[in-house]
């Protein structure tokens, strides 16, 4: 049992990556079952902006872009979901997932009103698609990642970075950074991930290791 002077047990689930908008919708369920059979407990997926608003103001959440159906299929098979909503995602997608039209209108990945206006509209669309699917509502989405590899644009202090700067033969520096995010789940949910969990709740730690050349 967790008490005021005892931290709940920490547990790191096994997370796998699957990008729904890159797969035909008819194949999603089969792939989710393969992922589950491999011991994965949480499916992480990008929501690529460029896949949903290729033409300004025309959002497409149908077919293989149907985020809501994908999350519901994950729930059907007892999988938790972690959505990575960008707005800049990378994932080897053109413009890091930013729509072509957006790049012609404004600077990106910074706090300017024009950019944030479009980001707010995009996030509003994601909110509509995922309404009722979050853990707090009894759904399976347990986390959201904002942005990605932000050290390439934002302040380095965003990450807890190692002090060691290793130099390669070309003279470029390699900086390794680690970011940790922690969430809490009730024991009932945690025990479905692992029967070894005890106590009323646990902390789940998600770790990102980032290497940046500079």
Rounded Cα distance between 206 and 199, Å, is 20
Higher pLDDT, 202 or 117: 117
Looking up tokens 């790191």 gives 12
- The residue among 96, 41, 44 whose CA lies nearest residue 70 is 44
Radius of gyration of the chain (CA): 19
**Residue 155 CB contacts under 8 Å (≥ 6 apart), including other chains:** none
Q: What is the pTM of this model?
A: 0.72
- Rounded mean pLDDT, 76-104: 97
CATH architecture of 11-148: Alpha-Beta Barrel (3.20)
* CATH 3.20.20.80 domain extents, the chain: 11-148
Instruction: Summarize pLDDT for 171-208 with one digit per residue, the tens.
Output: 333 333 444 444 455 555 555 545 454 555 445 444 44
Instruction: Summarize pLDDT for 121-164 with one digit per residue, the tens.
Output: 999 999 999 999 999 999 999 999 999 988 766 654 434 433 33
Higher pLDDT, 110 or 84: 84
**Residue 10 CB contacts under 8 Å (≥ 6 apart), including other chains:** 202, 203, 204, 205
Q: Which pair of structure tokens corresponds to residue 3?
A: 């008490």
Rounded Cα distance between 186 and 54, Å, is 39
The two counts, helices (H) then strands (E), for the chain are 6, 9
User: CA torsion sign, 196 to 199 to 200 to 206?
Assistant: negative
Q: Which pair of structure tokens corresponds to residue 113?
A: 């009103």
Q: What is the longest distance spanned by two Cα atoms in the chain?
A: 56
Instruction: Summarize pLDDT for 14-70 with one digit per residue, the tens.
Output: 999 999 999 999 999 999 999 999 999 999 999 999 999 999 999 999 999 999 999
């Amino acid at each position: 049992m967790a008490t005021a002077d005892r931290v709940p047990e920490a547990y790191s689930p096994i997370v796998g990556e699957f990008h729904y908008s890159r797969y035909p919708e008819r194949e999603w369920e089969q792939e989710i079952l393969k992922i589950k059979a491999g011991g994965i407990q949480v499916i992480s997926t990008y929501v690529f902006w460029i896949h949903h608003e290729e033409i300004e103001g025309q959002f497409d959440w149908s077919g293989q872009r149907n985020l809501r159906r994908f999350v519901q299929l994950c729930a059907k098979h007892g999988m938790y979901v972690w959505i990575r909503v960008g707005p800049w995602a990378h994932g080897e997608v053109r413009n890091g997932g930013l729509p072509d039209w957006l790049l012609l209108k404004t600077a990106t990945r910074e706090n300017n009103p024009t950019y944030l206006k479009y980001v707010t509209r995009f996030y509003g669309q994601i909110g509509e698609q995922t309404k009722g699917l979050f853990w707090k509502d009894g759904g399976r989405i347990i986390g959201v990642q904002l942005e990605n590899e932000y050290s390439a644009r934002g302040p380095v202090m965003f990450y807890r970075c190692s002090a060691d700067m290793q130099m390669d033969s070309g003279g470029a520096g390699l900086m390794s950074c680690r970011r940790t995010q922690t969430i809490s789940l009730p024991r009932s949910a945690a025990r479905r991930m692992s029967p070894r969990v005890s106590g009323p709740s646990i902390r789940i730690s998600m770790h990102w290791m980032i290497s940046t050349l500079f």
